[in-house]
Amino acid sequence: MSVVALGTTQPLRVRTVAIPDPGDLLAHLPEHAPHAWIRHGEGIIAWGEAARVNVPPGPDRFAWARDWLADILGDAHIHDEVRQPGTGPLAFGSFTFDPDTPGSVLVIPRAILARRDGHAWYTTIGDPTPAAVTPLRHPGTIRYSDAALTAPQWQRAVAHAVTRINAGHLEKVVLARDLNATAEHPIDVRLLLHRLHQRYPECYTFSCAGLVGATPELLIRHIGDSVHSLVLAGTISRGSSPSDDDARTAALLTSDKDRHEHACAVQSVRDALAPLCKELSPPRDPELLTLPNVVHFATPITGRLADGASALDVIAALHPTAAVGGTPTTTALTLIRELEGMDRDRYAGPVGWIDARGDGEWGIALRCGHIDGTHARLFAGCGIMADSDPAAELAEAQAKLRPMRYALEG
């Protein structure tokens, strides 16, 4: 375990004040340690670190993280003029996909700027240094190289997974692949955030401890006793023309493979939420979520939680969903470790924020990359079913890599 608490061992002094509309939130981010959770121009940005912890791996890591936050934030001296979800102190978090893999992190920022539902606020912890906002830096030329598996090797992994599924070992498995990107100059996370948010406003553009992306999948929104999740599974890439788009969408709507994949993902979320909820929305037909690069089947699920559950308790019950793991979960995770040839790190893990009340918003870290200096490691994954075609799955993975490639290249 590694904990960094900056400045003092005394209780945190937290002040939240209402402010005029700050305009473009991302324009206020400094280059050092930027954190963000933005959709349609609303959300939260933050910088600096009042406290930071590397969450120990293991099956109880979400409970450990909840207790650590309770210890740190429970003693805080909080002056909150706004009293909305996300006001007062909060933590940004990002967890590894595999519970046994180290690397999960929680960060309590020193400064937080936010806008939501007609309210804007600024939160400070202690006496943070005013942010020095510098011009965005371009990374220059980007070179790509294979990471864990080449494209042909990954297709062979998909074919092997299809064989295992047809043999009755499991129903679905999600296989991911990674891609290395090397920039001419150090990569400015803020530039990636600006590009992703402009191109994919429907997604949740995020940054947490070097993990940056724009995820379409909301794992959990927890406000009071209400809970909301958006399940995505079943995907087709966008066409090259309006008529091609229409044909591809029609193919998705009539695809038994994609509908079944989506149904598995929805059922896994409902089964996980049911023990925590006193009310849960009835099943419904999926909608279509159309993004610039792909079209997804999407189903919103809402419920009312029993007393006392925090956002981290809900995440512990949900992760990993069938949308990023497979069905049944244990068998799928074993096959992922066997076939992917890599550690997913924080890709496909929960990412988001949680406040001192236990409210928060968390997505699944998709359409993302880990940024370290001039290097970026990009990720994409596909749900493999009994009738999956390896070439088609590779094309889908390449489509899912486009957001981060666009963010790097412009």
Q: Among residues 31, 217, 393, 396, which one is catalytic?
A: 217
Cα(277)–Cα(351) distance, integer angstroms: 22
Assess whether 172 carries a catalytic annotation: yes
Assess whether 287 carries a catalytic annotation: no
Q: Among residues 31, 49, 172, 257, which one is catalytic?
A: 172
CB-CB contact of 222 with 314 (8 Å) = yes
Supply the residues annotated as catalytic: 172, 217
